[in-house]
């Protein structure tokens, strides 16, 4: 009986611990996600490569910039772990990708994660696609 109780307590504690270290995103509207991002672009993933430190770098052929101008071939990074809000993008698929930019003296890096407005373009509602294309999200 004691072993059963100890087992149940351990299972409950493990669930709490895994929840505490998982990825949690704040809810928000599309407008809020647009405004909180440094860049918002539409493009197709052409390549991906794992990096040291648990990151993955996606090469994206950008065909439209909705916010700042980014390179036509964008290298965007994300964590590989979903627990760290990493996002998995599929090669050959077109996405709306948003994220942040980090600059230092030598380079500019682009980052995204699962809390950002990064979705398959085909999964973005048609009226939202039109608002993006017409620049109706630009009033931040």
Contact 4, 12 (CB under 8 A): no
Q: Give how far Cα 43 sits from Cα of 6, 59, 99, 104, Å.
A: 51, 10, 13, 25
For 12-52, write each residue's pLDDT tens digit: 444 444 445 689 998 999 999 999 999 999 999 999 999 99
- The pLDDT assigned to 52 comes to 92
| Nearest residue to 34 (alpha-carbon basis) of 120, 123, 79, 99 | 99
Question: What are the C-alpha distances in Å from 133 to residues 15, 44, 76, 112?
Answer: 43, 17, 22, 21
Q: Is 66 within 8 Å of 132 (Cβ atoms)?
A: yes
More confident site: 59 or 104:
59
Tens-place pLDDT, residues 127-140 = 999 999 999 988 88
Sorted by where each starts, the structural domains of the chain and their CATH numbers stand as: 27-133 (2.40.50.120)
| Annotated binding-site residue? 23 | yes
- How far apart, in whole angstroms, are the C-alpha atoms of residue 38 and residue 67? 7
As a whole number, mean pLDDT of residues 104-113 equals: 94
Could you say which DSSP state residue 64 is in?
A: E
């Amino acid at each position: 009986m004691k072993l059963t109780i100890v087992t149940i307590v351990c299972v409950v504690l493990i669930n709490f611990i895994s929840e505490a270290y998982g990825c949690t995103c704040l809810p928000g509207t599309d407008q809020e996600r647009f405004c909180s991002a440094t860049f918002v672009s539409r493009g197709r993933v052409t390549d991906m490569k794992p990096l040291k430190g648990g990151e993955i770098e996606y090469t994206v052929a950008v065909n439209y910039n909705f916010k700042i101008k980014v390179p036509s071939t964008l290298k965007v990074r994300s964590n590989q772990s979903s627990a760290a809000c990493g996002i998995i993008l599929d090669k050959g698929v077109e996405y709306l990708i948003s994220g942040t930019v980090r600059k230092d003296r030598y380079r500019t890096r682009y980052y995204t994660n699962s809390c950002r407005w990064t979705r398959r373009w085909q999964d973005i509602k048609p009226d939202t696609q039109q608002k993006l294309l017409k620049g109706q999200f630009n009033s931040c």
